[in-house]
Each structure stands twice: as structure tokens, then as C-alpha cells.
Amino acid sequence: MIRVAIQGGTGYTALELLRILLRHPQVEITAVTSRSETGAVSDVHKSLSGRLELNFTNDSPEELAEKADLCFCCLPHRASMETIPSLLAAGLKVVDLSADYRLSDPAAYEKWYGHVHVDPTRLGATVYGLPELFSAEIPGQSLIANPGCYTSTSILALAPLLIANLIHPTDIIIDAKSGVSGAGRTPKVETLFSECNENFSAYGVGNHRHTPEIEEVLTRASGQKVDVLFTPHLVPMDRGILATIYATPVRETTAEEIQQAMHDFYRDRPFVKVVGHLPRTKDVSGTNFCHLTTRFVRGKVLIFSVLDNLIKGASGVAVQNFNLMYGFEETAGLL
């Protein structure tokens, strides 16, 4: 059994992570930390009543290392990079669900996140934890940078066609919509019920922080410079992401060739399903699956991608990474 700690255990992603790990055959949850809560974990996450008998703690990295072998870090960006070096130094392995180790360039991190990175030597050396692209690099690592939800939705959709050289790496438009849980559990005016219910709005136009992550990972995977125009929207639903992506083919092609390229790429990947129908967020809600399909319309390639932002977009893929780090079946705890 692998002893597991969760750092920053009060949010939505931590709750989903706890639910998954409670059914994982190789995991013992030994600590859940919080800087604000001290009572029972089930007092905050009431759906865990009778399933998890732990109190929140505020353990130091050294104290966590006495209790656990691996830590899932569910802290926000900036807070993660301030604690992860100490977690690693104490001997813990870490799966980081923040954005702090996803980018390879400290200058790019500072530009998009507005902070100087305090652990810059690990940028570019930390494996990006999207198993569908980088599963061979994950086993044996001590630190994995878990991908973001919008980025997973977009990268999983675009990577097969870019790698097969079927679409241009520029002139890509990503029109994505996310449920309100993607904004986290901390109260914000724009996510109050009376603000977001019966409402639909774009945000982060031209400056959303997931843009450089999408471009960098796709550039690395395809070997060509990728540029995207990414626009996210807030939808008045609890969870789920739908991305409609527009790209230009590099040569004359057919709808069948494009769809077959997607099928071939994900043939052996357990959590990506290429479907014939237009996928819906309800099809994947509460699961670790991503559903994809393509269409060829008026000379443009259209890709439709859906996933659950809290699971395949966060906690589920974190457990995929955990499984690969320790040599377990990639699907353990996730089916």
C-alpha cells in the first residue's frame, strides 16, 4: 500500500481526489492538510461521512514525510512552488495540481502568472503529466506537473492531427466552455449563484493563462511551433468542459481520414474515446473519460472535445499519473 497525503484538502479537486483514492486498491490516505480547517474532513466534505475518519492537519513537509510516501498538492499556484521543494527534500513524491511547474520558461511563467518563480530550475525538467502523450516519461519521477482542465480538453483534441500533419499549427481557434466548479470553491462575485445562473459569458479573452500551456505542450508533441486563439466561457452548470476547435487542413483530406487518425492515435488509451456522435458534457460527467469527434465543414476541420473538469481535467488524471509513477495499472481506482 502507498501512503498518500493531500495538501490543500478543502476544495473541489481535493474532494474528487479523496473519492477516487478511497476506492483505489493500493492506497491508504494518511493525511489531509488545510491552513484554515482543523476539524474532521467529513465536516467539510459531507459526502465522505462514514468513509474517511481523518481530521485536517497543518503538517510541515517533514511531518507529512513521516506519514506518507506521496503528496497530491492541491494548493493554488504560487503556494505550490513555495512548498514543493521542501516536500521533495523531505523525501516525498509529489503530483502537483497547480500550474506552477507546467511551463518550461521562468520568464513565461512570470509574464502569465504575475510572479517570479521561486523554484525555476525545475521548470523544463518536470514531466508534464498528460499520460496520453507522455506516459513513457512518468514512471519513476518524483514530481509530476498535472495538466489543467482546459488544456487537457484542447491538447487531447489537437495532438493527433498535429502529429499526423493533417492540420496547420497556426490559425487554430479554441472556443471552450466550462462549468462553474472550474473556478474553484473560494467564493468570488462572478461565481455567486445570482451572478452566473441564467447567464453565459466569455472571460480571459486574449490573456487566459492556459494559452501558453496549450501552445507549449502541442509544440513539443508535434515538433512544430503551434499558435492558438483560445477563448474560455463560463456556463451556468456545475461541471464539465466542451471545446469546439477550428483548424485548417494542410492538404486535401476527408472527414473519414481525419476521424481515422483520431481513432488510430487513441486506440490503446483507456480514457480517450473517439465517438461518431457529437459528444455532450453529460456523457462524461463524473468519469475520467474524454470523448472526441471530428467534422469536416466548408474546408475546415472541426474537433469537439468534452471531459469532466474536476476528474479528467484534474483529480482523475492525477491518479493516472500516480498509477504510472508506481507501476500500477493506469486505470486503478478510476473505473
Q: Give the residue numbers annotated as catalytic, written as ranges.
A: 149
Strand partners of residue 213: none
Strand partners of residue 54: none
Distance of CA 86 to the CA centre of its chain: 23
N-to-C CA span, the chain: 19
Most distant CA pair in the chain, distance: 62
Dihedral sign of CA atoms 248, 254, 260, 261 in order = negative
**What does the alpha-carbon distance between residue 138 and residue 321 come to, in Å, rounded to a whole number?**
7
Nearest in space to 172 (alpha carbons), one of 220, 211, 124: 211
Whether residue 317 contacts residue 20, with contact meaning beta carbons closer than 8 Å, is answered with no
Q: Vertex 93, ends 87 and 95: CA angle to 5°? A: 95
Q: Which cell is 181 given?
A: 466548479
Q: What angle, 0 to 180 degrees and rounded to 10, lies between the N-to-C axes of helices 210-222 and 149-163?
A: 30
Pairing between strand 172-178 and 228-234? parallel
